[in-house]
Structure 1
Amino acid sequence: MVLRGEAFMKTFNIKKIVISVVIALAVLVVGASSLHAVPAGHTGVVTRFGAVDDTVLSEGLHVVIPFVTRVVDMNNQVTKAEVVSASASKDLQTVNSTVALNYRIESLSAASVYQNIGVNYENVVVIPAIQEAVKSVMAQYTAEELITLRQTVGAEIQEEISSKLTPYGFSTQSVNIVDFQFSEEFNAAIEAKQTAQQNALKAEQDLARVKVEAEQKIAEAQAEAESYRLKSQEITDQMLKMEFIDKWDGKLPVVVSDGQSLFNIDSILDSAASSAGSTSDSASSTTE
């Protein structure tokens, strides 16, 4: 009897320990289920028995009702969606464009987005909105304008996307046109046009250079002619003076001033040269 009693007590103690452990584990599970931590940059959308509650949870640790309340964390951080879209320009050129959209979900709209769209909102709403906006805007510009007015085109695409996503609770931060791809024929035409423009610019620059060089040569010729004229004039004057000296009879004019004779040989030579020059000119005129 004593042995049976001891065996019963041992069995009872083991069961007691097992039950205690099970209860402790259950308490831990329930306790853990009653706490939810919303990550930074997220909004916790609360559902009760599957229905979305109007109450949303901010960042941090919150107490919820286990097995009744479920929290879905919706990302409010800026997210990038990049789309490759094929469209036609105004002049019917095929354009493959890569467009990147930076967007986010407004915190106050997190519950509405989850309820009406779900967690796959990017594929359901965002990407189709980008594709539609790109096609709509591209059709308003020629292929060449898409290149030259790239910034304007990007701004219009963002405006078009915003008009589509804002009603759902999304905020568009920026749109970047990452790349434009055109047909090989269009690229060849653009390259040929650029080459022609470069050749025309080079020809214009060459013409301007030739004009400047010609003006420089004219200026040099004029300066050389003027120098030659001055030298010729100087030589002519000297020759006239020499001719006068050869013909001079040695007599000097006398000027009396205060009882003294004065004369200036330079003035006499200059006067004689002038006279000789005049005589030469008269003779030439008579001969003609």
Structure 2
Amino acid sequence: MKKSKAFNNAGKLTALLFLITLFLTPFAIVNAGERGVLMEFGKVQDRVLGEGIHVIVPVINTVKRLSVRVQKQNISAEASTKNLQNISADVTLNWHIIPEKANTVFQKIGDEKNIVERIINPALEEVLKAIVAKYTAEEIIIKREEMKAGVDETLTNRLANYHIAVDDISLIHIHFSQKFNEAVESKQVAAQEARRAEFIALKASKEAEAKVNLAKGEAEAHRIIRENLTPEILEKQALEKWDGKLPVVVGQGEQKLLNLTDFLKLY
């Protein structure tokens, strides 16, 4: 009997303390970077609580806090290009809940985890597949920024329907199949060999052209010399080479000196 009475008193005291705690804390604090979703008996209200302290009615009102700060989501997705090459992409998305729509987001979707799993990941995968399908594998390499802009614009418009804003999207890595990588490498090697062969052919052509020009120059020089050589010039050149001694002509008879005029003719 005494034990039962003591147990009832303890239960009453616990309930009393619980009620006192509820009625002594008629406040809700929303921290920086958060918005409070105000609910009345579990029903989401139109009012969104901003940062700071707010008066609520205990038991009747509850508050669910959602972060409206920029959040990062990493995802890896697979897609096929226009020419049916399979790729995988590592994407980083920065996003945030539109603050004034926090109550609607919570009511229709749920908290941050639900937003990522139900909305962001599926939307990002679908948008990436749709944009990648517009480009060939080669175009993805040279038009990466254009493709990124397409993903950004399409995803922004799609998530706006759920009151989620896209702050930035980054295509961190794009991975191609091993077969495509080997084909690209072979193509690059072939292009390098073609450029090398072209350089060798051009070099040979220039060298042959230089030899022809040199031969033409030498022939022209010889022609000019021939046209301008006169007996007077030849005589002058012979005198310039003469050492001043007249040669002696030996024949049948006595020795005699060669006549200067005849000597010059020898040169």
TM-score range, shorter chain: 0.7 to 0.9
**Aligned match for 1:239, one of 234, 241, 251:** 234
| Contact preservation (8 Å) 2:22, 2:58 | no
- 1:190 counterpart residue number: 184
| Contact preservation (8 Å) 2:36, 2:65 | yes
The count of corresponding residues between Structure 1 and Structure 2 is: 228
**Aligned match for 1:104, one of 96, 115, 119:** 96
**Aligned match for 2:77, one of 76, 85, 88:** 85
**Aligned match for 1:63, one of 55, 60, 66:** 55
Matched residues in 1 for 2:130 and 2:162: separation?
20
Residues 123 and 239 (structure 1), Cα distance of their counterparts in 2 relative to 1, 3 Å cut: same
Residues 35 and 243 (structure 1), Cα distance of their counterparts in 2 relative to 1, 3 Å cut: closer
- 1:15 counterpart residue number: none
Q: CA deviation at 1:96?
A: 1.5
Across the aligned residues of Structure 1 and Structure 2, the Cα RMSD in angstroms comes to 3.3
Deviation per residue, 1:189-238 (Å, 9 max, x gap): 11111111122222223333333334444444455555566677787654
Matches within 5 A, 1:268-279: none
TM-score (norm 1): 0.68
Structure with max Cα Rg: 1
**For 1:168, what is the secondary structure of its paired residue?**
coil
Residues 193 and 46 (structure 1), Cα distance of their counterparts in 2 relative to 1, 3 Å cut: same
Matched residues in 1 for 2:22 and 2:226: separation?
121
- 1:199 counterpart residue number: 193
Give the AA of the match of 1:213: E
Q: CA deviation at 1:125?
A: 0.6
Unaligned runs of at least 5 residues, structure 1: 1-18, 249-275, 277-288
Matched residues in 1 for 2:238 and 2:47: separation?
125
- 2:130 counterpart residue number: 136
Residues 37 and 205 (structure 1), Cα distance of their counterparts in 2 relative to 1, 3 Å cut: farther
Matched residues in 2 for 1:209 and 1:79: separation?
59
TM-score (norm 2): 0.72
Q: CA deviation at 1:30?
A: 4.4
- 2:165 counterpart residue number: 171
Residues 226 and 66 (structure 1), Cα distance of their counterparts in 2 relative to 1, 3 Å cut: same
- 1:282 counterpart residue number: none
Q: Which has the higher helix share?
A: 1
Matched residues in 2 for 1:128 and 1:103: separation?
15
Percent identity between matched residues is: 32
Residues 30 and 229 (structure 1), Cα distance of their counterparts in 2 relative to 1, 3 Å cut: farther
Matched residues in 1 for 2:66 and 2:109: separation?
12
Q: CA deviation at 1:181?
A: 1.7
Give the AA of the match of 2:177: S
Give the AA of the match of 2:161: P
Matched residues in 1 for 2:156 and 2:186: separation?
38
In the alignment, does 2:173 pair up with 1:158? no
Matched residues in 2 for 1:52 and 1:194: separation?
61
Matched residues in 1 for 2:171 and 2:149: separation?
10
Matched residues in 2 for 1:46 and 1:232: separation?
112
| Contact preservation (8 Å) 2:82, 2:135 | yes
Give the AA of the match of 1:239: L
| Contact preservation (8 Å) 2:28, 2:63 | yes
Worse-superposed segment, 189-198 or 64-73: 64-73
| Contact preservation (8 Å) 2:37, 2:102 | yes
**For 2:124, what is the secondary structure of its paired residue?**
helix
Give the AA of the match of 1:48: E
Matched residues in 2 for 1:71 and 1:77: separation?
18
Deviation per residue, 1:115-136 (Å, 9 max, x gap): 0000021111111100111111
Residues 97 and 231 (structure 1), Cα distance of their counterparts in 2 relative to 1, 3 Å cut: same
